[in-house]
């Protein structure tokens, strides 16, 4: 056996060693966890930096192509690493205050899900993909239930794990049908067999996409989203809404391109319907929400629809713009969730009506939230406009003008509800606005990083150029 | 200095001002106001220098429509987005107009006390969008600046507006953004067919116009999308409904900037993007939009006659006048189009003046209802004389800018000899009479006649109003220095165009010569 192929898994190996170190440290340190968090974040930051500097050099396939890695895979893992770093920074103060005893578990679970996502992303085989997906889902349920004092958190976790289990079941059924019809689980071989799609194969595909649709929270597999987002601790909601979603979208795209390239009509039809439903339902429900976390849950449902526009385009521009969109969406949503978590922790307020008059007492938080909302709504010069515009260019290239038109009209609808929050913060008056908040340094640092990224990424074209240069790996 | 840097100054100066303002303490309102005035003066000087420079470079034998063009690559590869700048006679005229309205707008908002710093920050962002739009010749950058100019309106109206401001702000933003959704689709269409098969696609409007590679079938689809997209901002019937509510609720300087400059973005975009890049479909479909804009012109004027709120009157008058801009553009000959651009200038200046004056009157009386006002000429003669001048410019008195523009428009339009065009030109001409009706109605009602609800106590006039059973006395005064600066600046510009229109008209016509070729 050629052991050098393990080198292509440097991201995974590094993360596994990090996990073992954390586990041991957790054991040794006992109940006093002073400095544990700082060490963990520091180590993870080193892992992130290494990801950018040296993990990419040894990229290649391993284990008879079951594991695949290229510059593109390395890039998407690096993007997830940055996002996870920000989430960890955001949850630092919350952990210090509420979960001092359980920080070991928190880091172990979070990074385990990340490991699962790595495997999902790099899979070259349905079985390998499935294992990655489960590793990403099950610890996530524990994380959702991490707020031990809150009943809602437990309820959210129950809902999450039940739907996750169900959708895994459906997906597994789909995978078994794929195996039954194609006689293989490798993406390349499935692609070869799928060239003449029988109805059974289409059924297999639909079952499979249903399972992934759950992870991305596409309509009609989105029902868990609002409840889970609302009940989960805010930093976990942030993690779910960007990291988990980003990894799932990328995997979905990779599998569609690798395993089903010859049946584009099949999956484009299925996705067309799903995307229209996702964008419209997400938008309509977001308008009526009163809880800000539920609001962002539906906003993220509709954003997922927009990200999938790059996938359905199915061309080179589509691939690079999807990744660009994921990157920008990550910073934008994390900025918004950072502000939400600060306000939740310091003032205990989660209703949109509580945000009335926020600008008069906490101008900085309100402005950062506003920038994030503008970016989500696609208002220039913030990054969200660039990602939306580019993803639409890809979609136009593939000739789906009808879908593009629906998406464009829906951006106006989404702008309406994003402006509702801006209106609450800036225009509405409140007799008792949220008092002046002393935000903790780590969270505010995370939010500031995200805000700078939201303002700057659109103008720094080399980022997009790099994504474009590596994204040919999927075509 | 390279052309790129020079033209970018129009964006860079407001940006630097934003940074300075950001660093100034919020309670130092004096410093904020003087920074704004200084910065706006720099922009005006730049605009003046650009005009002089352009007139110097320009000569009738010039083979290029755009001068000072330059380009820097932004997104290479498949997207091929550049930051490209360049100006022709039309954009120079628009930049000059914007600079004048911006500086007078600063003086008109001198008395804003609430959240001064934030107000001016948004005001500057709006200016960045406006100037950026006029200097860009790359569709992506144009679209970017277009939206940058739109979004500050939401907070400017929502925070500093009056009346039903939350509703108006939301309505305006969503309608304009809805327009830009259409526009975006149009831009994608133009981009996708911007080069012959096999060549790199481009967003550069000069290259697209040169390639002219879009088939008539595609043009038929994307021309109306683009035209309507910009037409929403140009207050084209039936997409004009945001305009009266928006203008009525906006604070003074925002109304000025919005009606004076932002609505011009619509007309300019219709002309620069929709018509120049898709001339074949334009020739085919112009009749639809002539009907719609014809309705705007007449309907807007009639609506203005029956309004009682001063701002509503001017908002509907803007619908009528901006309709005339699009109407004249669609005539597709050099004379009418020159008139259209002159009308943009003239309307921009006189509407800005109108809104400034209404704001100044409203600031003292706290009502804009013409049924509640009367005889103000005795109380505030300076402001009222200015109002009369603005009114006369609006109804096209020779010697003021409105006359030059409308003359060119109707003479040019009348060159079309068929019944359809003749009918609409004659219908459009009636708006001149209707304009006189509503202008003179206001002038007669509120400026002349006996004093109404005004008390004179020891040489000081007070406006008496009753609110919830309580009687209020608001002190009335004539214009103060910053109000005088704002109004004089605008009146001088109106008179300058009216008295010697030759140079600016030639500058515009020279650039339109190239566009005119497309419609032959």
Mean pLDDT of B256-270: 90
Cα B490 to chain centroid distance, Å, stands at 14
From chain B, the residues in CB contact with A407 under 8 A are none
- The B residues from 74 to 113 touching A (CB cutoff 8 Å) are 74-79
Percentage with pLDDT > 90 across chain B: 39
Alpha carbon of A397: minimum distance to chain B alpha carbons (Å):
7
A392: nearest CA partner in chain B: B188
| Closest-CA distance of chain B to residue A218, Å | 24
A381 chain-B contacts, CB cut-off 8 A: 144, 148
Task: Chain B: give the shortest CA distance to residue A413, in Å.
Answer: 8
Q: Domain locations in chain B?
A: 3-74+82-518
Number of domains in chain A: 1
If you average pLDDT over residues B220-238, what whole number do you get? 91
Q: How far apart are CA A465 and CA A297, in angstroms?
A: 31
Low-confidence ranges of chain A (pLDDT < 70): 1, 475
> With 80 as the cut, is the pLDDT of residue B471 above it?
no
Scanning every residue of chain A, which has its alpha carbon at the shortest distance from the alpha carbon of B165?
A427
Within an 8 Å CB–CB cutoff, is residue A423 touching chain B? yes
Among left, alpha and beta (phi > 0; psi -120 to 50; other), residue B79 is: alpha
- Segment B241-259 shows an average pLDDT of 88
- CA of B317 to nearest chain A CA: how many angstroms apart? 28
**CB interface of A with B, residues 292-321, below 8 Å:** 316-317
Residues of B in contact with A404 (CB under 8 A): 185, 188
pTM flag (> 0.95): no
Select from A187, A196, A223, A210 the least CA-distant residue to A271: A210
What 8-state DSSP symbol labels residue A434? P
Confidence of residue B59 (pLDDT cuts 50, 70, 90): confident
What per-residue confidence (pLDDT) applies to B491? Answer: 92
pLDDT tens string A18-34: 999 999 988 888 777 77
Query: What is residue A1's predicted lDDT score, i.e. its pLDDT?
Result: 66
Structural tokens at position A142: 């524990």
Considering only the beta carbons, identify the residue of A317, A411, A419 that sits closest to B181: A411
- What does the block give as tokens for A52? 């950018």
Q: Select from B140, B155, B181 the Cβ nearest to the Cβ of A412.
A: B181
- Asked whether residue B61 carries a pLDDT value surpassing 90, the answer given is no
Stretch B119-132: mean pLDDT, rounded? 92
| pLDDT score, position A475 | 65
The helix/strand/coil state of A355 is helix
pLDDT mean across residues, chain B: 88
> Does any CB of chain A come closer than 8 Å to the CB of residue B159?
yes
Rg of the Cα atoms in chain A: 21
Q: What is the pLDDT of residue B94?
A: 93
Check: CB of residue A383 under 8 Å from CB of residue A459.
no
Q: Do B155 and A419 touch (CB under 8 A)?
A: no
Distance from CA of B361 to the nearest CA of A (A): 25
For the stretch A75-134, pLDDT in tens is: 999 999 999 999 999 999 888 888 888 888 899 999 999 999 999 999 988 999 999 999
For the stretch B294-328, pLDDT in tens is 999 999 999 999 998 888 999 999 999 999 999 99
- Evaluate if residue B463 carries a pLDDT over 80: no
Task: Measure in Å the smallest separation between the Cα of A277 and chain B Cα atoms.
Answer: 19
CA distance B86 to A24: 64
Mutate to test the interface with B, among A317, A381, A401, A409 (most CBs of B within 10 A): A381
In angstroms, what separates the C-alpha of B407 from chain A's closest C-alpha? 39
Report CA-CA distances (Å) from A90 to A106, A291, A435, B115, B386: 13, 20, 21, 31, 58
CA distance A457 to A308: 21
- Chain A hits for B157, Cβ within 8 Å: none
Average pLDDT rounded to a whole number, residues B125-147: 93
Lowest-confidence range among A313-322, A419-428, B348-357, B511-520?
Answer: B511-520
Measured in angstroms, the CA of B123 and the nearest CA of chain A are apart by 16
Q: Which of B76, B147, B158 comes nearest A385 by C-beta?
A: B147
Q: Which residue of A has its CA nearest to B157?
A: A427
User: Closest-CA residue in chain A for B187?
Assistant: A393
Concatenated DSSP letters of B465-491: EEETTEEEEEEE----HHHHHHHHHHH
Nearest to B75 among A397, A405, A461 (CB): A461
Question: How many CB atoms lie under 10 A from the CB of residue A21?
Answer: 13
CA distance B159 to chain A (A): 6
Tell me, what's the pLDDT at B479? 78
What pLDDT shows up at residue B297? Answer: 92
Q: Do A426 and B158 touch (CB under 8 A)?
A: yes
- Using the Cβ of B167 and the Cβ atoms of chain A, whether some distance falls under 8 Å is answered with no
B234: closest CA among B184, B188, B289, B281?
Answer: B289
pLDDT recorded at residue A416: 93
Q: HSE of B315 in the Cβ direction (CA atoms, 13 Å)?
A: 23
Give the pLDDT confidence score for residue A75 in this predicted structure. Answer: 92
CA separation for the pair B227, B234 (Å, rounded): 10
B144 touches chain A (CB under 8 A): yes
Residues of chain A found within 8 Å of residue B191, distances taken between Cβ atoms: 393, 396
Residues of B within 8 A of A316 (CB-CB) are 78
A258 interface with B at CB cutoff 8 Å: no
DSSP B170-220: HHHHHHHHHHHHHHHHHHHHHHHTSS-TTSPP--BHHHHHHH----HHHHH
Would the CB atoms of A412 and B177 count as touching at under 8 Å? Answer: yes
The backbone region for B246, taken as left when phi is positive above 0, alpha when psi lies in -120 to 50, beta otherwise, is alpha
Q: Report ipTM (2 d.p.).
A: 0.92
Query: CB distance A404–B155 less than 8 Å?
Result: no
In sequence order, what are the beta bridge partners of B71? B84
What is the domain range of residue A248? Answer: 3-474
Q: Chain A residues with CB inside 8 Å of B151's CB?
A: 374, 379
**pLDDT value for B1:** 66
């Amino acid at each position: 056996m050629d052991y050098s192929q393990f080198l292509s898994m440097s991201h995974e190996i590094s993360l596994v060693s990090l996990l073992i170190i954390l586990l041991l440290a957790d054991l040794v340190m006992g109940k006093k966890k002073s400095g544990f968090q700082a060490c963990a974040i520091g180590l993870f930051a080193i892992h992130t930096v290494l990801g950018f500097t040296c993990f990419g050099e040894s990229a290649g396939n391993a284990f008879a192509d079951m594991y695949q890695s290229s510059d593109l895979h390395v890039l998407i893992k690096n993007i997830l690493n940055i996002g996870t770093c920000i989430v960890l920074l955001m949850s630092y103060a919350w952990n210090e205050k509420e979960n001092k005893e359980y920080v070991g578990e928190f880091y172990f679970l979070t990074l385990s899900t990340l490991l699962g996502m790595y495997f999902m992303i790099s899979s070259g085989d349905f079985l390998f993909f499935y294992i990655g997906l489960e590793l990403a889902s099950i610890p996530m349920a524990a994380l959702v239930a991490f707020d031990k004092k809150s009943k809602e958190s437990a309820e959210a976790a129950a809902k999450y794990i039940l739907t996750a289990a169900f959708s895994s079941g459906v997906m597994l059924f789909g995978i078994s049908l794929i195996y039954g019809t194609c006689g293989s689980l490798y993406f390349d071989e499935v692609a070869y067999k799928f060239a003449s799609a029988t109805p059974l194969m289409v059924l297999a595909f639909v079952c499979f996409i249903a399972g992934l649709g759950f992870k991305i929270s596409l309509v009609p597999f989105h029902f868990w989203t609002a409840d889970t987002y609302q009940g989960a601790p805010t930093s976990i909601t942030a993690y779910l809404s960007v990291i988990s979603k980003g990894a799932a979208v990328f995997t979905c795209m990779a599998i569609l391109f690798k395993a089903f390239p010859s049946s584009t009509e099949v999956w484009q039809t299925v996705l067309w319907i799903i995307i229209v439903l996702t964008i419209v339902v997400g938008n309509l429900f977001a308008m009526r929400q009163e809880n800000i976390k539920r609001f962002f849950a539906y906003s993220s449902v509709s954003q997922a629809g927009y990200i999938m526009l790059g996938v359905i385009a199915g061309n080179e521009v589509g691939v690079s713009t999807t990744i660009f969109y994921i990157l920008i969406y990550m910073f934008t949503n994390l900025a918004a969730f950072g502000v939400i978590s600060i306000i939740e922790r310091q003032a205990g307020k989660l209703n949109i009506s509580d945000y009335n008059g926020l600008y008069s007492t906490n101008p900085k938080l309100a402005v950062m939230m506003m920038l994030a909302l503008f970016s989500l709504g696609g208002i220039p010069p913030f990054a969200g406009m660039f990602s939306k515009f580019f993803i639409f260019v890809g979609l136009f290239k593939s000739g789906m003008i009808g879908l593009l038109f629906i998406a464009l009209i829906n951006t106006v609808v989404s702008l309406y509800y994003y402006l509702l929050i801006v209106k609450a913060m800036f225009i509405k008056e409140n007799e008792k606005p949220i008092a002046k908040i002393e935000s903790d340094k780590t969270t505010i640092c995370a939010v500031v990083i995200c805000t700078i990224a939201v303002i700057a990424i659109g103008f720094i074209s080399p980022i997009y150029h790099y994504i474009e240069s590596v994204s040919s790996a999927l075509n | 200095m390279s052309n790129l840097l020079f033209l970018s100054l129009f964006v860079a100066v407001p940006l630097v001002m934003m940074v300075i303002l950001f660093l100034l303490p919020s309670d130092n309102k004096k410093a904020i106001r003087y920074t704004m005035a200084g910065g706006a003066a720099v922009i005006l000087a730049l605009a003046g220098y650009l005009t002089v420079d352009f007139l110097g470079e320009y000569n009738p034998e010039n083979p290029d429509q755009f001068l000072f063009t330059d380009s820097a690559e932004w997104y290479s590869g498949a997207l091929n987005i550049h930051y490209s700048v360049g100006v022709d006679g039309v954009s120079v005229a628009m930049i000059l107009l914007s600079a004048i309205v911006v500086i007078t707008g600063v003086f008109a908002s001198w008395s804003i006390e609430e959240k001064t710093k934030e107000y001016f920050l948004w005001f500057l962002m709006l200016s960045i969008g406006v100037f950026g739009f006029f200097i860009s010749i790359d569709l992506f950058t144009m679209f970017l600046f277009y939206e940058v100019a739109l979004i500050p309106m939401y907070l400017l109206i929502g925070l500093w507006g009056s009346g039903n401001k939350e509703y108006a702000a939301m309505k305006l933003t969503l309608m304009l953004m809805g327009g830009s959704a259409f526009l975006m689709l149009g831009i994608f269409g133009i981009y996708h067919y911007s080069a012959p098969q096999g060549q790199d696609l481009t967003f550069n409007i000069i290259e697209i116009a040169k390639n002219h590679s879009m088939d008539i079938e595609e043009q038929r689809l994307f021309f109306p999308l683009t035209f309507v997209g910009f037409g929403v901002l140009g207050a084209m019937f039936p997409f004009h409904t945001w305009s009266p509510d928006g203008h009525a609720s906006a604070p003074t300087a925002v109304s000025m900037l919005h009606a004076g400059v932002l609505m011009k973005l619509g007309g300019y975009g219709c002309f620069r993007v929709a018509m120049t890049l898709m001339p074949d479909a334009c020739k085919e479909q112009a009749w639809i939009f002539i009907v719609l804009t014809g309705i705007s012109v007449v309907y807007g004027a009639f609506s203005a006659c029956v309004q009682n709120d001063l701002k509503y009157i001017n908002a509907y008058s803007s619908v009528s006048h901006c309709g005339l801009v699009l109407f004249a553009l669609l005539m597709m000959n050099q004379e009418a189009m020159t008139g259209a651009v002159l009308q943009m200038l003239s309307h921009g200046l006189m509407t800005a003046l109108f809104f400034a004056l209404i704001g100044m009157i409203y600031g003292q009386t706290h009502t804009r209802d013409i049924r509640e006002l009367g005889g103000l000429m005795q109380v505030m003669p300076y402001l009222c004389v200015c109002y009369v001048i603005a009114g006369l410019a609006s109804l096209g008195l020779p010697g003021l800018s409105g006359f030059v523009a409308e003359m060119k428009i109707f003479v040019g339009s009348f060159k079309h000899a068929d019944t359809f065009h003749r009918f609409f030109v004659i219908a459009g001409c009636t708006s001149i009479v209707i304009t006189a009706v509503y202008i003179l109605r206001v002038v007669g009602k509120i400026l002349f006649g006996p004093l109404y609800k005004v008390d004179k106590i020891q040489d000081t006039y007070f406006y008496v109003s009753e609110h919830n059973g309580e009687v209020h006395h608001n002190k009335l005064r004539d214009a103060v220095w910053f109000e005088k600066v704002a109004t004089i600046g605008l009146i001088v510009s109106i008179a300058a165009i009216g008295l010697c229109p030759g140079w600016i008209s030639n500058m515009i016509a020279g650039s339109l010569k190239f566009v005119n070729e497309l419609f032959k």
